[in-house]
Structure 1
Amino acid sequence: MKSFLFGGVLAVAAIATTAGLAIADGTSTVHTYDGSFDDAAFSLESAIIGKGLNIDYVSHVGDMLSRTKQDVGSDITLFDNAEIYIFCSAVLSRKMMEADPMNIAHCPYGIFVADREGQVMVGYRNYPEGPMQEVQSLLAEIVEEALEE
């Protein structure tokens, strides 16, 4: 398993237009997945549910980018597939917001799966130092579990 740091999902999209993958400003943690996009998505979903969490929404960002590329004057395919799994933890969210109500800005949490030219990636945004590191640890555990399946 190989890890990369990227500057968020949108930055990943911007970086992906260049030749190959690069390290951006470290706002996201991204791991390569040794397998198919569908297997990575299934493993991620299973890992989230396995933590007793409910997936609130799956954002089909890859479909949206593909569907709208001509509308915005582009012919570039950024991802072959890309989805963001959105979920929350009532226990952690309450704890984070009791520490600082403005931590609401970080909720809900998301982990993405993306396939770019046969390279499947699983990742999440990095959170600020302090109480939000507990959430980041949860995201890291979920991704590690998904990578092992």
Structure 2
Amino acid sequence: MKHLMIGLCMTALAATTAQAQDMVTYTTDQSFEDVVFGLENAIIDQGLVIDATSHVGDMLERTKADVGSDVTIFTKADVYSFCSAAVSRKVMEADPMNIVFCPYDIFVAVSPDTPDQTMIGYRTYPEGPMQEVQALLDTIAKTAIGQ
């Protein structure tokens, strides 16, 4: 019985980790630079501090030959990481394991297939307390592009 329970738990864990998170994206004809400027201001206007900016597009382009590829995935792509002390405390008081979602990220990217369109988006969060974080990210992303 003990082995059966361990097996079931491991199966459930594997199924949980295999699920891809959904994302919310918005597309605009604004330039990458304008969307980034809007995003930085939208984050700051919420009283938040940008912890890090990951230049994912630059990294992918710089390393593509090193990994045996010639594919340009993004012409430009950055991920902005930040946190809200108030919201983070609230969701982690509800469930300390919500720490897994911190910091929060919003990406801005341009695909070579659609060079006149800029995408902005974020991953979705589970139902419950984390929906407050998702609402915050949605407000920031929409504000960044003037929606």
More helix per residue: 2
Q: Which residue of 2 is the match for residue 94 of structure 1?
A: 89
SS in 2 for 1:91: helix
**Counterpart mapping for 1:27-38 below 5 A:** 27-38=22-33
**Counterpart mapping for 1:31-50 below 5 A:** 31-50=26-45
Higher relative contact order (CA 8 A, sep 6+): 2
SS in 2 for 1:71: helix
Structure 1: 5+ residue stretches without partners: 1-24
Q: Which residue of 2 is the match for residue 63 of structure 1?
A: 58
2:130 corresponds, among 109, 129, 132, to 132
Structure 1 segments (4+ residues) deviating >3 Å = none
- Are 2:78 and 1:80 aligned? no
Shift of 1:33: 1.8
SS in 1 for 2:80: strand
Structure 1 vs Structure 2: percent identity of aligned residues? Answer: 60
Structure-1-length-normalised TM-score: 0.81
Looking at structure 2, the residues matched to 145 and 30 of structure 1 have their Cα atoms a distance apart, in angstroms, of 13
Q: How many residues align?
A: 125
Structure 2: 5+ residue stretches without partners: 1-19
Q: Which residue of 2 is the match for residue 145 of structure 1?
A: 143
Provide, for residues 74-118 of structure 1, a one-character-per-residue CA deviation record: whole Å limited to 9, x for no partner: 100000000000000000101111000000000000000001121
